[in-house]
């Protein structure tokens, strides 16, 4: 049954194995251990962001727009009213500032989101956002002021905000009190 010792080793192997049936060709597959893992995605954060954008758009359409001289003011229910009064009077030290003058609504939204993320990352407590009074706005509606108001109300890291005192920009700027990490 086995060939002589002087034969080809491959022939010896085939003789030892016996008859074989060739497998049909398959596409090369990578074992599960060697497959690259997909990059992680923050699906819940993406869903939250999409939901917030939808609500933001809904709020922009349903709410009465603010006028140039209107005061921006907001406080979370969990925050004492005294804190908002101190913010209104400018008692908190401003640690950073963002000026949105000349930006389109889309640019301003992107800049504001990025600014607030960075402020949160650096654990800043109070920031100033200059949006302008909107006196040059078409139709008399201050676009950036309304954008800032609506966006800040929807952010979880914003505890309170109020239009700045007159010596810090008045109704053309807003002081924002941020939650600490």
Q: Is pLDDT at 3 greater than 60 in this prediction?
A: no
pTM, two decimal places: 0.63
At residue 164, the pLDDT reads 92
Q: How far apart are CA 163 and CA 170, in angstroms?
A: 6
Are 134 and 148 spatial neighbours (Cβ–Cβ below 8 Å)?
Answer: no
Q: Is the pLDDT of residue 61 over 60?
A: no
Report all structural domains of the chain as residue ranges with CATH numbers, in order of start: 68-178 (3.30.1370.110)
């Amino acid at each position: 049954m086995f060939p002589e010792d002087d034969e080809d080793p491959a022939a010896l192997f085939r003789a030892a194995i016996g008859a074989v049936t060739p497998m049909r060709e398959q596409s090369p597959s990578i074992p599960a251990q060697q497959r690259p893992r997909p990059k992680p995605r923050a699906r819940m954060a993406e869903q939250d962001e999409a939901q917030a954008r939808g609500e933001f758009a809904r709020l922009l359409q349903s709410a009465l727009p603010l006028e140039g001289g209107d005061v921006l003011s907001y406080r979370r229910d969990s925050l004492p009213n005294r804190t908002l009064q101190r913010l209104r009077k400018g008692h908190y030290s401003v640690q950073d500032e963002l000026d949105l003058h000349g930006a389109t609504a889309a640019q301003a939204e992107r800049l504001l989101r990025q600014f607030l993320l960075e402020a949160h990352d650096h654990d800043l407590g109070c920031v100033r956002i200059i949006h302008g009074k909107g006196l040059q706005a078409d139709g008399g509606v201050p676009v950036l002021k309304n954008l800032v108001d609506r966006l800040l109300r929807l952010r979880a890291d914003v505890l309170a905000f109020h239009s700045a005192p007159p010596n810090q920009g008045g109704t053309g700027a807003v002081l924002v009190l941020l939650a600490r990490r």
